[in-house]
A and B are shown apart, each in its own frame.
Chain A
Amino acid sequence: MAILEAKNVSMHFGELAALQNINLSVEKGEILGLIGPNGAGKTTFFNCVTGFLNATRGAIFFNGHDITRLGPHRICRLGICRTFQIVQSFSEMTVLENIMMGAFCRHAAPRKSSAQAEEVLEITGLKDKRNQIAGSLTLADQKRIELARTIATQPTVMLLDEVMAGLNPTETDEAVELIRKIHAMGLTLIVVEHVMEVIMGISQRIAVFDSGELIVEGPPEKVVRDERVIKAYLGEDYHA
């Protein structure tokens, strides 16, 4: 059974349809890549899944339970956690405290939460920066903090929204390595990314969005050769 399933999900903002009849299911343990031009609806889809937006039509199921109308905090507690496209670290807190914010989701006592945060610091390689103020770090480190505190909520599904945008090649390699590590921990990942060689490399399956619709879905090697995908990215003129 699919761990996460979107059935006929539509999201309308007044007249504008940001998502139209999306049917997408994610299997437990896979990495699903989500690609598409700007404004295709990838982030809107994330917002619907994580409860930041309520889909205007359709339903979203997590382990068979309808989560369409639940708020973001409820969805996080159920085990779906996300990162943000524009970094949203708690900039006045230390790295450790940022990760504790995630760990508090499972442990109310600060001592337990900080113990778990220490483990996550180890996994994510942030240990030597644990006492630095998050706002003073580089973009790459702040994105890493977002990943780390997301892991600390102990999710079963993680939604990563462009965690590599704006990183240099070395930083990107490190991020890819971390994502593989998280996947190896048994998590299911949905990854939105614009860096093609990265997304093709890590995803087992790719879903392509264009103008709010899911146009193609399949293994990476098949998706890149699909005419509709080439058209969506390059436009009608270049379509041979």
Chain B
Amino acid sequence: MQTTKRFIITLACILLVFAVAPLVISSVHFQHLLIMLLLYTTLSQAWNLIGGYAGQVSFGHAVFFGIGAYAAMAPLNQWGLTPWIGMAIGAVVSVMVALVIGVPVFRLKGHYFAISTFAVAEVVKELFSSWKWVDGPIGLDAPILEPGFYTLMFYKTKLPYLYLTLAFFLVVMVLTFRMERSRMGYYFRAIKQRPDAAQAMGVNISLYKQYALVISALFTAICGSFYAMYVLHIEPATVLSLDISMKIVLVTALGGAGSLWGPLLGAMVLIPLQEYSRVWLGGTGMGIDLIVLGLLIMLICIFEPKGIVGILHRLTRQKG
């Protein structure tokens, strides 16, 4: 853990870089990279709450992401409802799904949570694929509407998306920082390390796991809504895919699960790798990023299970 002062300074520097860089380098592709970087950092930070801090690994976070994406896009598509309301609906539905998973499963010990998140995500994906109202497997395209903040659509520039994602990234980082130092943060870590001892210390472990999952689901759904409005086309095979679930897990594991800066560090390695391998290698590059990532994860597991954060800690300690 670090001091408040250091956190504020670091975060301010990051904000400055992300705010100014796209103004200096006006390449659309670079801006896209920054948006994806922020989006995946925020998503992974959301996952980090339950999977990293509280140690309950979820392989199905695409379900919350997909619900957020569809909740923003479907009512806009069908009724012209502003995605802001859709985002709120997505958040509420995601929390309800989180309760449906957590209430029975968090009473059990073992790997049931990981298994059930995976199963629920696959079930929801199939449901959306056969749901006519959202055009099943074809997915939804955003209608052409007046651009602006009300419709959350901007055709000529990516900058509003970038700043919105940056703002949400900021909110999630600050909340995670506060959580880390509160009683809840201690309880999450205790549940991860020694669930029995945590119970003996008066921690209602199933309740706190549920808190972690609900907050995580909420943040993930909001990311999903942003993503839908950014790409303007969603379908079950993308927003509800296992691919998304796994990428969130891997970014966090690579950067350092259970640490504040892990998700950002992991995303800084993986997202450029993903975006540029596609550009350089074209169609043949598909999957290259995942091969390299798989290799990185293996190396991390063998040499530094605490991820990039762990490596940095080691380096600074050697210096000092």
Contact = CB atoms under 8 A, between A and B. Distances in A.
Contacts of B193: 90-93
Interface string A77-121: 100011010001111110001001110110011100100000000
Given A73-B205, A88-B194, A82 B200 contact: yes
Nearest to A82: B200
Contacts of A90: 189-190, 193-194, 197
Nearest to B208: A73
A170 to B, nearest CB: 26
Interface stretch (B32-40, B76-84, B179-187, B242-250): B179-187
Interface residues of B, number: 19
A101 B190 CA distance: 8
A43 to B, nearest CB: 12
A102 B201 CA distance: 5
Given A101-B190, A108-B183, 16 more contacts: A73-B199, A73-B205, A76-B200, A89-B194, A90-B189, A90-B197, A91-B194, A93-B186, A93-B189, A93-B193, A100-B186, A101-B198, A101-B201, A104-B187, A150-B200, A153-B201
Name B's interface SS. Answer: helix
Contacts of B104: none
Contact of B201 (A91, A105, A109): A105
A101 B196 CA distance: 13
Contacts of B197: 84, 88-90
Contact of A72 (B181, B182, B183, B200): B200
B19 interface: no
Contact of B183 (A77, A93, A102, A104): A104
Interface of B: 181-183, 186-187, 189-190, 193-194, 196-205
A52 interface: yes
Identify the interface centre among B183, B198, B200: most chain A CB within 10 Å of its CB. Answer: B200
Interface of A: 50, 52, 71-73, 76-77, 81-82, 84, 88-93, 97, 100-102, 104-105, 108-110, 113, 149-150, 153
Contacts of B204: 71, 73
Contacts of A153: 201-202
Identify the interface centre among B181, B183, B204: most chain A CB within 10 Å of its CB. Answer: B183
B200 A81 contact: yes
B320 to A, nearest CB: 15
B176 to A, nearest CB: 16
A109 B205 CA distance: 19
Given A84-B196, A90-B193, A110-B181, A97 B186 contact: yes
Contacts of A100: 186
A104 B191 CA distance: 14
Identify the interface centre among B187, B190, B202: most chain A CB within 10 Å of its CB. Answer: B202
Nearest to A90: B193
B200 A50 contact: yes
